[in-house]
Amino acid sequence: MAVRSILLYPDPILKQVAEPITAVDETVVSVIQDLVDTMVDSGHSVGVAAPQIGVLRRVLVVDVSKSKLGKDNNHGLLKMVNPEIIEKSGSKMMREGCMSVPDYTGNVTRAEYIVIEFTDRNGQLRVIEASGFEAVAIQHELDHLDGLLFLDRVSSLKTDLYRRKGK
């Protein structure tokens, strides 16, 4: 459909909680496709959430299959409506970046394993297990639906936040 502009921190929309979706209609399918197009167009993103394109709805996409960290353990392109983590375990610290915070990366601790329930683009309820980098990416995008950025999860802005090279 369309490559959309990514909102940049400190845009206030990024700090708002997205609204649940009551039905997967043409509007929602269009947002999903815009998210996929925007993620693919970036050339490096492994996920995008609707608030990042200015849409305060609970929709996100994740695909870690082309990343060296996720290529051997993934579900391919995930299109999630109203995603909710129903189980999690383990703990993993990883350096995260975000298209909405392009100048920085930071160390964030997240669950290493999750079980997530969501509605797919066909309106079907699905439950999947994710681990490693895919689980981290899903949790990162899910945070966007709750008005959180990775900056909110960095334990110390002084020691765990890094300026990207070339910025």
Q: Which of these is catalytic: 96, 112, 134, 141?
A: 141
Closest alpha carbon to 93 in 158, 155, 45, 48: 155
Task: Yes or no: say if 31 and 57 are a contact pair by the CB < 8 Å rule.
Answer: yes
Active site residue 141: yes
Show which residues are catalytic: 141
